[in-house]
Every structure is written in structure tokens, then in C-alpha cells.
Homo-oligomer: A and B are copies of this chain.
Amino acid sequence: MQDDILTILDNVLTAVRPTQGERDELAELSRRVCGYIREEGVRCEVVGSGARKTWISGAHDLDLFIMLSADLTREELETEGLRVAKLVADRADSYETRYAEHPYIHARFADYRVDLVPCYQIASPEEMRSAVDRTPFHNQYVLPRISGLEDEVLLLKQFMKCAHVYGSELRVRGFSGFLCELLIIHYGLFLAVLEAACNWRDGLLIEPGVTTSQRARQGAQHSPSGGVWEPLSVIDPTDPNRNVAAALSLDQFYTFVDVARGFLAEPSIEYFFAKPLMPVRKSEIIAATDARGTDLLAISFEIPDMVEDIAYPQLYKLRQSAIGLLDENDFTVLGSAIGIRSASKTTDTVMLLIELESGRLPALRKHVGPPAYMRAHAERFKSKFTNNDTFSNVYIENGQYMVDIHRRYTSAKHLLESELHSCALGKQMREHIRAGYGVAEGKEIADIFDMEFLKGYFTDKIGVK
């Protein structure tokens, strides 16, 4: 069995370990681009997986930090940083300016994607002035400790990629590359991380290289997040108040736990390289929906192209609002899926799919009133519903006043069409929702969503297995 696993891991490494040629090429490109920066009299630091030799073969990403004086104002940092970055980018094949906490440049040199990120050069993380200033310190922490463990990091990243839990971006809410490295530093080996994960429970606290312990579920005084419950807290070695795993969702945490158990129980290369999914045809989707007997609702609209990490939180919020609205109105939500697809150069299509036990409810709704012993409440309740347009008189059931009234929405489609725009929504989503949106149901859904998206929901949930 161990042999089996080791053979599998060897095969994985053969596929994902960058070749010497790749390493040389990346090193050569780093040297060259850093040279352009230094020409401007500015220090340059190579960070991320490129610096640590922990990138997956074929992932041609390079992160270069332009280290500027801490004496600059924030505005000067942006101006000077962009000036240097642009001088470098002018020698690239193409580039664009992107905006996170402050602007940076994303450039292309041959088939490499190079991020040129201005930051303050500071002496210690306590002096941090912009969110990216911490990154060089991460690099300094990881570099000496990861040496000799690069293969272990590669295995963990590839394993997580295949389980769709790799990446801390808000679309994924999984494990970042830095988090992978910290887990390897902490546990020593890829298989040791997996062995440990089999018994993980949410509320886990890891101080890399020091302790692993279970936090109490109540009272989050030990949580770096200061109160918000996070399934996993991994203390940032450069900042004890920061949780490196803050972006990780509960379900992604347990998905990793689950695949770790699965792989150790029955090792297979498929935990690293998924079998390609068969394409799904529209007729199959329709047949699967019919067999389930459930009702599907879909909301889809176009928004101007947005940064993923801004669009996704708003889409989560939209989904939460839609589900909340349906819950409050007694519709039973069985599942949902979201997605954003590029629709054109400048616009994206937002997709929200909701599956309901039923999209229809009877006109009659049982309305629960106060306990019968509460005299004053009872009087108010009775006077409110007497001579009202109800299905019943006020009656007593199990010691409580009740009345059968008319339900406001008997159709989930109509409910979402009428009320979704007035729910809590992100800024951009709200604007586009207010401008108008349609709700599709039943077979229409196969017309408005691409099969790729529906396949995603149906593969996990509808068992087109």
C-alpha cells in the first residue's frame, strides 16, 4: 500500500515538477526583468512560488515586487511604482494596469504572466503601510524553511487543485499557495498533512512550526480574526494577528478533509488528475431535472467586466438574499450554484441557479399567533384577523392561536421577480438588479445557461456521475 502511494506520488511529481529547462527559463526571465527595475535604481524582490521553486510545471507566473522607500506618501508610492512598472512593461509583449488595494501592472513576456507590484520597503511587518508590504516577509520566512520540501508542496498543491480547494480568491475560498507551504513546513511531508487532515475538525488552530490545537467553539478569544468563526486558523509567522486561512470556507475545509481520507483509504492518481468529464447534452439536463421532480429557478444578467474578488462576494450576497427571501416565504431551497462567465470584451454574465422542493405553494398559509394564555397579545391578534380576508376564523391549536390566511406569494418565480431588488445586495449587483432582471424556470433554464455551468451543478448534485 505504501509502495502504491509512493509510486503514485512519483508519477504525480514527474508530471508537475518543473523541468530544469523551465526552472532555468524562469530564473533567466527573473534576472532580466529585475535588471530593468534595478536600472531605475530601485530594489526588486522575486516572491511567490517562482522564488520558492514551488510552482506547478506549466504555470508560468512570476511575482516581482518593486521595493520603494517608506518615506514616500501613499500617492507617491502609486505614482513612482507605476512609473517604474510601466518602464519595465514597455519591454513586455503586452500589459495592463490592474487595481487591488493599489495599482500594479500585469505584463506578458512570451508565455509568462508577470505581476509588477509596487510596495514599501520596510524593516519589519509592524511598519506595514499597504497590504502587499507583508509579502516580502512571507518570502523571507518560507525560503530557508521550504528548501528540500519543494516536492511536498507541489504534491499538496496539485492534490488541492484537483479537489477544487486550491486558491484563496473569493471565487474558490480555498487554500492559498502560501498556506500550502506553511502546512508543509508545519507537518513536514505531504502525506503527514493528509494524515493530520483526516482528523481535523473546524476550529483548528495551527501556529506553524509550533503548535496544533483545537479552539473552543464558543468564545473566539484565540482566533486571530477576533470573533468571526473561521474553520481553520493558521497564524501568519510574520504577524500573529493575521489568519493565513481566513478566506477558507467551512465546506472547502471539509472537502479537503474528505479527499484526504479518501486518498489514504484508496490511493489513486485520480486524486491528482481528474478524469475529464463527459460533455452533457441539453436533453440529458432536461431528463435529469424531470427525474428529480424539483423546480429550478435561474437568474441571469449582464454586468460590466469586474475584478473577480469584487464580483464574487456580491454574487454570494445575491445568492444569500435570494435564498433568504425564499426561506422567509416558505419555499424549501435544496441547492444552488453561481457562476460568472465572460460575455464579451467588456461584460460578464452573472448566473444564479436555485433548486426548490417546489416553486409553488398553496394559497393558504397557517399563521401562528401568540400562546393562548397571553391575554393582551391574544386580543390584538384576534382583532387583527377578525373581519379580515382569511380562510378561517382564529382558532386554537396546541395552546396557540392560529389563523389560516392568504399567502403573499404562491410562486417562487413571482416572489424573486417582485422582491429581489429590495434585498441586501452588493453595490454593482444592486444597480444591475434594479435595472431589471428576469427569472427563468423549468426547461427555459437549459436555454439561458450554458451546459458547462449546468454540468458543474449537475455533476455534483444531479449525479450525471
- Indicate if A7 sits at the interface (CB-CB under 8 A): no
Q: A400 — nearest CB in chain B belongs to which residue?
A: B254
Contact of A261 with B379 in the complex, beta carbons under 8 Å: yes
Contact of A372 with B257 in the complex, beta carbons under 8 Å: yes
- Indicate if A126 sits at the interface (CB-CB under 8 A): no
With the chains together, A404 CA to B390 CA distance in Å?
37
Contact with A258, one of B335, B372, B390 (Cβ below 8 angstroms) = B372
Binary interface encoding of chain A residues 336-369 relative to chain B, with 1 for a CB under 8 A from any of its CBs, else 0: 0000000000000000000001100111101000
Contact of A291 with B363 in the complex, beta carbons under 8 Å: yes
Give the number of residues in A that approach B within 8 Å (Cβ atoms).
49
Q: Which residues of chain B have C-beta atoms less than 8 A from A410's C-beta?
A: 293
Contact of A372 with B199 in the complex, beta carbons under 8 Å: no
Contact of B460 with A391 in the complex, beta carbons under 8 Å: no
Q: Given that A361-B357, A463-B404 are contacting pairs, would A398 and B293 also be in contact in the complex, using a CB cutoff of 8 Å?
A: no
Q: A363 — nearest CB in chain B belongs to which residue?
A: B293
Q: Given that A294-B362, A294-B364, A334-B366 are contacting pairs, would A397 and B251 also be in contact in the complex, using a CB cutoff of 8 Å?
A: yes
Q: Which residues of chain B have C-beta atoms less than 8 A from A404's C-beta?
A: 292, 334-335, 461-463
With the chains together, A397 CA to B335 CA distance in Å?
10
- Indicate if A21 sits at the interface (CB-CB under 8 A): no
Q: Which residues of chain B have C-beta atoms less than 8 A from A465's C-beta?
A: 393
Contact of A373 with B202 in the complex, beta carbons under 8 Å: yes
Q: Which residues of chain B have C-beta atoms less than 8 A from A335's C-beta?
A: 404
- Tell me how far the C-beta of A19 lies from the nearest C-beta in chain B, rounded to whole angstroms: 36
Contact of A265 with B198 in the complex, beta carbons under 8 Å: no
Q: A251 — nearest CB in chain B belongs to which residue?
A: B396
Q: Which residues of chain B have C-beta atoms less than 8 A from A364's C-beta?
A: 292-294, 334
Binary interface encoding of chain A residues 281-300 relative to chain B, with 1 for a CB under 8 A from any of its CBs, else 0: 00000000001111100000
Contact of A265 with B379 in the complex, beta carbons under 8 Å: yes
- Indicate if A392 sits at the interface (CB-CB under 8 A): yes
Q: Which residues of chain B have C-beta atoms less than 8 A from A144's C-beta?
A: none
Jot down 18 A-B pairs with beta carbons below 8 A, ordered by A. A199-B375, A200-B373, A202-B373, A250-B398, A251-B396, A261-B378, A291-B391, A292-B362, A292-B391, A334-B364, A334-B366, A335-B404, A392-B463, A393-B460, A393-B465, A395-B460, A395-B461, A404-B462
Excluding A293-B410, A392-B461, 18 further A-B contacts by CB distance (< 8 Å) are A200-B373, A250-B399, A251-B396, A251-B399, A254-B372, A254-B396, A257-B373, A258-B378, A261-B378, A261-B379, A291-B363, A293-B361, A293-B363, A334-B364, A335-B404, A393-B460, A393-B465, A404-B463
